[in-house]
Amino acid sequence: MIQIGIVGGTGYVAGELIRILVHHPEVNIRFVYSHSHAGEEIRSVHEDLFILGEQKFAAEADMDVDVVFLSLGHGNSIRFLHEYPFSDTTKIIDLSNDFRLKGDSYQEKRKFTYGLVEKNKELIISSGNIANPGCFATAIQLGLLPLAYEKILHNEIHIHGITGSTGAGRGLSETTHFSWRNNNISVYKPF
């Protein structure tokens, strides 16, 4: 049985991850960590996860797991791993953007592999740590990689991507309210 930990358990990504893993026959979810909801039942946030019964969000990460998923906001995974230095035998799968690009000393030490399966399948299989690509990067690469492999990209390329409201996460801001988003499109972090 693979012992799993999930860090940042209240977000949409963590909710989907829990839904997938709770039904996996070879996985035991050892803990779901949430700083802001520690001690509360997981189903109080993810109401459709009644299968978890009264399981609560953990106040601390259990260091004795085989795999830990980091489902934290961008910039928080690095800080979390400095506070909780998992052993080198614990595989880390980061779902933020913290380890996608080389350059951070922690990223270099743990040797994160860019987790686009269609490009790096063999590296991912043998890797100890995965930096999961974001939704826009995945969509762009899946569209362009076949063209790049055939060497038929010769001109400047422009990509226009549109995301839904869950892409902004659970946090509230002026632009995440339905009355603002409904029938509206806005620029997301231009240049």
The residues that are catalytic are 135
Q: For residues 90 and 72, what is the distance between their CA atoms, to the nearest angstrom?
A: 18
Judge whether 44 and 15 are in contact, CB under 8 Å: no
For residues 90-124, one letter each, b for 16 or more C-beta atoms within 10 angstroms of the residue's C-beta and e for the rest, the string is bbbbbbbbbbbeeeeeebeebebbbbbeeeeeeee
At residue 61's C-alpha, the angle toward residues 59 and 64, to 5°, is 145
DSSP 8-class letter at 134:
P
